[in-house]
Structures are given as C-alpha cells and as structure tokens.
Amino acid sequence: MNMSTQRPLILAVDDEASNLHLLRQILQDEYRMLFAKDGARAGTGAAGAAGTDSA
C-alpha cells in the first residue's frame, strides 16, 4: 500500500483506557491508530511509527 492510499495515522494519548477504547471504536475504520497511556510512551510510539512510514 503506498502513501496515497494508506489511511492517516492518529496517535491518541490518554491515561483513561475507556477514552482510548471509545476513540478506537469511532475512528478505526478511517484511520490507523496508535495508543499510549502517557507522554513518554507516546513519544516512543511516534518515533517508531515515523520509522515505518518513511519507506
């Protein structure tokens, strides 16, 4: 799948699992999703995602 047909990526950060679950239910059909419980994990996830999208 090339970049023009790939769904946009959303990084959702929240310490409440119920909020992340709700976001997943609403957005999963139109977006690729990454989830984190705090800022430190979000930074790690964002760095990893940036590495995989640059191909």
pLDDT band at 54 (very low <50, low <70, confident <90, very high): very low
Q: Please give the span between the terminal C-alpha atoms of the chain, in angstroms, as a whole number.
A: 11
- Residue 37 lies inside a defined structural domain of this protein: yes
- Residue 22 lies inside a defined structural domain of this protein: yes
Q: pLDDT per residue over 12-53, tens digit each?
A: 999 999 999 999 999 999 999 999 999 888 888 777 776 665
- Residue 33 lies inside a defined structural domain of this protein: yes
The total number of structural domains in the chain stands at 1
- Residue 1 lies inside a defined structural domain of this protein: no
pTM: 0.68
Helix (H, G, I), strand (E, B) or coil at 17: helix
CA-CA-CA-CA torsion sign (19, 25, 31, 35)? positive
- Residue 55 lies inside a defined structural domain of this protein: no
- Residue 2 lies inside a defined structural domain of this protein: no
- Residue 13 lies inside a defined structural domain of this protein: yes
Give the domain extent around 28: 9-50
